[in-house]
Structure 1
């Protein structure tokens, strides 16, 4: 559960920095690629962590 908390927190920090970048208007191409990779990677890791939690809960029954 701790891992999911940190993934959500990291995702929030990435989203806030993305909003700041969009507000300033300076959005270079390399930064677009970095944000895309970060968001995809966080979503992928979050899915694996959520699966592990659900598997542990189902196994506890």
Structure 2
């Protein structure tokens, strides 16, 4: 996401989260890696997206 350079120190590290709806539609959402870790979210897990905030289901 940042190429070969690190992001500025005051910016969070973002990762691409792929969300898939019940109807099969997909959406890619850049999201702070630290927020995913704090929320216990891992690859392949189920989440809820409400008001721009991901929460583990």
TM superposition score category, shorter chain reference: under 0.3
TM-score by length of 1: 0.16
TM-score by length of 2: 0.16
Greater fraction of residues in strand: 2
Give the greater-gyration-radius structure (CA): 1
Higher relative contact order (CA 8 A, sep 6+): 1
